[in-house]
A and B are shown apart, each in its own frame.
Chain A
Amino acid sequence: MHISEGILSGPVLISGMAIAAAGTAIGLKKLRNEDIAKTGMLAASFFVASLIHIPIGPAGVHLILSGIVGLLLGWAAFPAILVALTLQATFFQHGGITTLGVNTVIMALPAVVCHYLFAPLIWKNKTISAIGAFGAGSIAIVLNAVIAGLALIYTDEGLFKAAALIMGAHLPVMIIEGIISIFCVAFLKKVQPALLPGFKSINN
Chain B
Amino acid sequence: MINEPFAAGTSIIHKLGPRYRIVIAVLYAFIVAVSYQFPVLILSLCISAIMAVCAQLNFRALVQRLLLVNVFILFFWIVLPLTGGGDIQFYVGPLPVYKNGILMSARITLKSNAILLSLISLIATMPFSVAGQALHALKVSDKIVHLLLISYRYIFVLEQEYRRLITAARIRGFKAGNNIHTLKTVAYLAGMLLVRAVRRAERVHQAMLCRGFKGKYYCLASFKPSYGNWIFTTFMAIIIICLAVMEWGNI
Instruction: Please tell me if the beta carbons of A83 and B116 are within 8 angstroms of each other in the complex.
Output: no
Number of interface residues of B (CB under 8 A): 89
| Chain A minimum-CB-distance residue to B80 | A162
For A37, the chain B residues whose CB sits under 8 A away are 150, 201-202, 204-205, 208
- Is B79 an interface residue when CB atoms closer than 8 A count as contact? yes
Instruction: Please tell me if the beta carbons of A180 and B190 are within 8 angstroms of each other in the complex.
Output: yes
Instruction: Please tell me if the beta carbons of B2 and A4 are within 8 angstroms of each other in the complex.
Output: no
Instruction: Please tell me if the beta carbons of B190 and A42 are within 8 angstroms of each other in the complex.
Output: no
Q: When chains A and B are docked, how far (Å) is the Cα of A9 from the Cα of B104?
A: 11
Q: Which of A109-117, A121-129, A184-192 contacts B (4 or more CB under 8 A)?
A: A184-192
For B79, the chain A residues whose CB sits under 8 A away are 161-162, 165
Instruction: Please tell me if the beta carbons of B34 and A10 are within 8 angstroms of each other in the complex.
Output: yes
Instruction: Please tell me if the beta carbons of A83 and B187 are within 8 angstroms of each other in the complex.
Output: no
Q: When chains A and B are docked, how far (Å) is the Cα of A49 from the Cα of B188?
A: 12
Instruction: Please tell me if the beta carbons of A4 and B147 are within 8 angstroms of each other in the complex.
Output: no
Instruction: Please tell me if the beta carbons of B180 and A188 are within 8 angstroms of each other in the complex.
Output: no
Instruction: Please tell me if the beta carbons of A45 and B25 are within 8 angstroms of each other in the complex.
Output: no
- Is A80 an interface residue when CB atoms closer than 8 A count as contact? yes
For A87, the chain B residues whose CB sits under 8 A away are 128, 148, 151-152, 155
Instruction: Please tell me if the beta carbons of A158 and B123 are within 8 angstroms of each other in the complex.
Output: no
Partner of A96, one of B119, B188, B215: B119
Instruction: Please tell me if the beta carbons of B194 and A45 are within 8 angstroms of each other in the complex.
Output: yes
Q: Contacts A48-B155, A90-B124, A97-B29 given; indicate if A40 touches B150 (C-beta within 8 A).
A: yes
Residues 135 to 189 of chain A near chain B (Cβ within 8 Å): 156-162, 165, 176, 179-184, 187-188
Residues 155 to 196 of chain B near chain A (Cβ within 8 Å): 155, 157-159, 161-162, 176-178, 180, 182-184, 186-195
For B49, the chain A residues whose CB sits under 8 A away are none
- Is B47 an interface residue when CB atoms closer than 8 A count as contact? no
Min CB distance B168 to A, Å, is 14
Instruction: Please tell me if the beta carbons of A6 and B32 are within 8 angstroms of each other in the complex.
Output: yes
Q: When chains A and B are docked, how far (Å) is the Cα of A65 from the Cα of B183?
A: 13
Q: When chains A and B are docked, how far (Å) is the Cα of A9 from the Cα of B30?
A: 10
| Chain B minimum-CB-distance residue to A180 | B187
Q: Which of B9-17, B64-72, B88-96, B222-230 contacts A (4 or more CB under 8 A)?
A: B64-72
Q: When chains A and B are docked, how far (Å) is the Cα of A47 from the Cα of B128?
A: 15
Q: When chains A and B are docked, how far (Å) is the Cα of A57 from the Cα of B177?
A: 9
For B241, the chain A residues whose CB sits under 8 A away are none
Instruction: Please tell me if the beta carbons of B182 and A9 are within 8 angstroms of each other in the complex.
Output: no
Size class of the A contact interface (CB-based, 8 Å): 35 or more
Q: Contacts A41-B154, A97-B29, A98-B29 given; indicate if A6 touches B110 (C-beta within 8 A).
A: yes
What is the interface of chain A mostly: helix, strand, loop, or mixed? helix
Q: When chains A and B are docked, how far (Å) is the Cα of A39 from the Cα of B146?
A: 10
Residues 111 to 131 of chain B near chain A (Cβ within 8 Å): 111-116, 119-120, 123-124, 128, 131
For A89, the chain B residues whose CB sits under 8 A away are 119
Q: When chains A and B are docked, how far (Å) is the Cα of A122 from the Cα of B26?
A: 41
| Chain A minimum-CB-distance residue to B204 | A37
- Is B236 an interface residue when CB atoms closer than 8 A count as contact? no
> What would be 15 A-B contacts, judged by CB atoms less than 8 Å apart?
A6-B33, A6-B109, A6-B111, A36-B205, A40-B146, A48-B162, A52-B186, A93-B65, A93-B120, A157-B85, A183-B183, A183-B191, A184-B191, A184-B194, A195-B198
Interface residues of A (CB under 8 A from B): 4-10, 13, 24, 28, 31, 33-34, 36-45, 47-49, 51-57, 63, 65, 68, 72, 79-80, 82-84, 86-87, 89-93, 96-98, 156-162, 165, 176, 179-184, 187-188, 191-192, 195
Interface residues of B (CB under 8 A from A): 2, 4, 25-26, 29-30, 32-34, 65, 68-69, 72-73, 75-76, 79-80, 83-86, 98, 100-101, 104, 107-116, 119-120, 123-124, 128, 131, 141, 143-144, 146-155, 157-159, 161-162, 176-178, 180, 182-184, 186-195, 197-202, 204-205, 208, 213-215
